Amino acid sequence: MKKAKAEAETAKVSIRNMRRTAVEDAKKLEKEGVSEDEIKTLEKEIQHVTDGYIVQVDKILEHKEKDIMTV
């Protein structure tokens, strides 16, 4: 079970790293003339997508833990 939790945490870290990269890219758009409101909207959407993937990882981990416990 420790391995499953470690893999889930690794997945979450990867997702967060992708979020950080996406937010940095969004901020670069501001320098190219995109409005601040549009950047904030984009950042909220990035966070929403990130949260969705984190929830999916948690659900997969929960399912895997149940599988491990029944064996």
Residue 71 predicted with pLDDT over 80: no
Average pLDDT for the chain: 94
CATH of the domain at 41: 1.10.132.20
pTM: 0.84
**DSSP one-letter string for 9-52:** HHHHHHHHHHHHHHHHHHHHHHHTT--HHHHHHHHHHHHHHHHH
Give mean pLDDT, residues 5-31. 95
The count of domains in the chain is 1
Q: What are phi and psi of 5, to 5 degrees?
A: -65, -40
Confidence of residue 68 (pLDDT cuts 50, 70, 90): confident
Spatial separation of the C-alpha atoms in residues 40 and 27, rounded to whole Å = 9
Q: Which domain holds residue 24?
A: 2-70
Pair of tokens at residue 25? 């890219």
Spatial separation of the C-alpha atoms in residues 30 and 33, rounded to whole Å = 5
